[in-house]
Structure formats: structure tokens, C-alpha cells
Amino acid sequence: MTTPTLAAPDLARRKKAKKATGVAAFGTFIEYYDFSVYGYVAATLATVFFPSKDPLMSLLDTLLVFGSAFVVRPLGAVFFGRLGDKKGRRYSLIASITCMGAAATLTGLLPGFTQIGALAPILLVILRMLQGFSTGGEIGGAAAYIREWAEPNKRSLYVSMIPGIAQFGKGLAAGLAALAAATMPAAAMSDWGWRIPFLLALPLGILCLILRLKIEDSPEFTAIKDKDTTAEKPFREVLTKYPKALAKVTTISLVQNLGTYIGTVFVAVYFSEVLGFKKSEAATIVLLAVIFAAVLIPFAGQLGDHIGGRKVLLWSYIAYAVISIPSFALMNQHSFALALLGLGLGIIPYALCQAGTYGSMLEFYPTRIRHTGVAFGHSVGAVIGGGAGPYFATWLIDQTGNTFVPAFVLVAAGLLGLLVVGLLVKKNDATSEHLYR
């Protein structure tokens, strides 16, 4: 029996799909690196930009700035979504990486409070919001671009490369933060050491920009553009024709972002400021955990191609409800090994949720508004889950003295996801352009 071979056009498309996935995911790697660096050096930034006699207030001010980036993400989603749905995914991806790289680099060059006073935190807020603006467009654009290139039976796997490779971006950020904290005196870290991770954004951004300038647009978008059937006002169309889909995508994103920013970014602050670990130990634990996540997410993506993104999401929500409290119980033993085991346990629902979210939210919209619909829904969910989550977790721990607050938040998120996805998300028939409604 002979093994069938791919026809030349199919083989050529598969090669282009792999290239498209690599370039888009690499850009998301940089976006997540740039965006996450702030969270991993938040404790240092608190002393540089918000000096106060009360360390908690300095940290809360720093986390508020962290959250400010999320407030403008929906605006970025509308701006870049319109660009991606009218002009092309490629144009949006080029613009978003340029914006993010510039904002991160300028952050690394900012003078601190002792040099320019109140102007320092003001400029930090502006640059942080610019980062959020670009991230609002990047995720929807990269996800739509990869989905529209991938073979139908491999979409979940290919799209899972976005959150999978993004873990290495967060891992690089955590690794550099750990290295700096371990090798530099505290004074040097506060003076110039924190700048190094931000300034690395410049060469990374330039490299990604060069790669994105060389890619071609997705075949699905090209087809509707050739037929002149692109959306004239994609954001209005999302709001008026797909409000239920938008609400579901927003909820899915809310749960995913709570898991992301509580479980892999906020925990760095949690370990050092709440549980008393050294900053280098905290960053190392998070680094190892996100590498573990990067390994698990593609397997979860493959699972999605077999059982569907909706089922992967449901399993992730069940896991959050069951695993989160035992996970934080291990972290609270004040042992490096047990903290690593606890966070590693918490990565299991996180990995499932990442793959399920990206594999599902793209399937609520047709091609003509996919970029805008995904970007806006994901960004609104991120405002609540990512922007407010770390701040209120810190505040609630201080108010209650209960170090299990983050675990309770993740359990509640899992139950919310089960309710919405389990009861309200349905499959479309085979004639529909998108899978879910």
C-alpha cells in the first residue's frame, strides 16, 4: 500500500501555514515578554517610581499602573481590529509590534521619581497604556492570522502556539528578573538593573518587524478582500449582529486572564511580598512554571483538535475548581520545593484553559469581523481578569490576612466558566463558517 502524498498546492500552503504560525507566534512571544516584564520587576519599580514609607502602598500604586494597560486594551482592539479586518491581518501585526517595542524601550529609558519627581510615574502610566493599546490588537490579529492559514484538523494545535510560545516570552522576562535580582545588589537593581529587561525589547522588536514585513496575508482574508466583502464597520457589526458571541468570548477571556495574571504574573509578587521568598527565588519558581506551561499547552492544543475547544475549556474549568486550593496550600508551606510543586500543579488547568480559549474564541465569528470580535472580546475580559485581578488580590490579602485569596479567585473563575460555557455555548451546523454560537 502506497502512502498518499500531498498535492503541490497543498504542500505549498502547509509550508506557508507553518511560516505564518512561526512569525505570528514569535511576535506574540515578544509582546508577552514586553508586557510581562513590568509584573516581574513590580517590587523594584515600586521603589523607583512610587517611593513611600508604606511598602504596601508603593506596591499597590505599581499594580495600578500595571492594570492601567488593560483599560486601553479595548481601544487597541477596536483600532487594530478595524485595520486587520479592512486592510489585512498583516498590516495589523506590523503596526502592533512596532507600537509595543517602542513603548517597552522607552520605559527602560525613563528617569525615576528622584530624578524628575511626579512626572516619572505619569510617563510610566502613559507608556504602560501604550503597551496595553498594542496588546489589544496583537492577540486577536495573531490568532485570526494563524487560524486562517491552518488546516481545519490542526487549527487548535496551530493556534495554541500563541499562548505556548508566549510562555517563553514570560519565561524570558522572569528569567532576566531572577538573574538580575540574584546577581545585583538591591541598590544596583533599583538604579539601573530593572532597565535591562525593558531595553532588550528593542532588538527583539526590530527582528520581529523584519519578519512580519516579509509575510503575506491569510488566504481566507485575501478571498473576502478580492470579492470586496470585507466589513465596512467591523466593530459596529460585532456589537449589532454578534452581541451574544461577544458576551461569551468576553467571559471566556475573563476566566483565562484571571488564570494568567493571578497564576503566572501576580504569583511572583505573591511569593516575595506575601510569603516572604527572596525575589530571586520567586522569579525562579515562576520561570520554571511557565516553561512547564509552554510544554503542556501544545498537547492541550492537540487535544482540542480531537475533542473540540469547548470540551478542553470545560475540563480546564473543572481543574481550576478542584486544584487551585491544594495548589496554594503547597505554596504556603514556605518551602521552595513545595512552592514549585504547588505552582506546577496550578499550571495544569492553566495550560488547558490557554489552549481551549484560543481554540474556541476564534470560532464565534466569520472571517470578515474575526479580528475585531476576538480582539475586543478578549480585551474586555482582560480588563477585568488581568487588570483588576492582581490589584484586588493584593488588596484583599492585606484586608483579610488570608493568603488563600488568589486560590478562591481561581475557583470562582472556574465555576463561572463552567456555568457559561457548559450551558450557553452551542455548536453551529456544518454549513456555518464558524463553529460556535
Q: Do the Cβ atoms of 285 and 279 come closer than 8 Å?
A: no
The pLDDT of residue 354 is: 96
The pLDDT of residue 68 is: 78
Q: Report residue 267 CA to chain centroid gap.
A: 15
* Prediction pTM value: 0.89
The pLDDT of residue 51 is: 83
pLDDT tens digits, one per residue of 291-317: 899 999 999 999 999 999 999 999 999
pLDDT tens digits, one per residue of 236-264: 999 999 999 999 999 999 999 999 889 88
Q: Do the Cβ atoms of 267 and 398 come closer than 8 Å?
A: no
Read off φ and ψ for residue 436, nearest 5 degrees.
Answer: -115, 160
Cell of 397: 490579602
Question: What would the DSSP string read from start to end of 60-72?
Answer: HHHHHHHHHHHHT
Distance CA 249, CA 320 (A): 19
The pLDDT of residue 9 is: 57
The pLDDT of residue 197 is: 85
Fold classification of 16-424 is: Growth Hormone; Chain: A; (1.20.1250)
Per-residue 3-state assignment (H helix, E strand, C coil) for 89-132: HHHHHHHHHHHHHHHHHHHHCCCCHHHHCCHHHHHHHHHHHHHH
Residues of the chain falling short of pLDDT 70:
1-9, 53-54
Domain residue spans of the chain: 16-424
Q: Cα dist. 281→162, 287, 299, 325, 332 in Å?
A: 27, 10, 28, 22, 14
Cell of 342: 504547588
Specify the DSSP class assigned to residue 426. Answer: -
Q: Do the Cβ atoms of 101 and 202 come closer than 8 Å?
A: yes
> For the chain, what is the total number of helices (H) and then of strands (E)?
21, 0
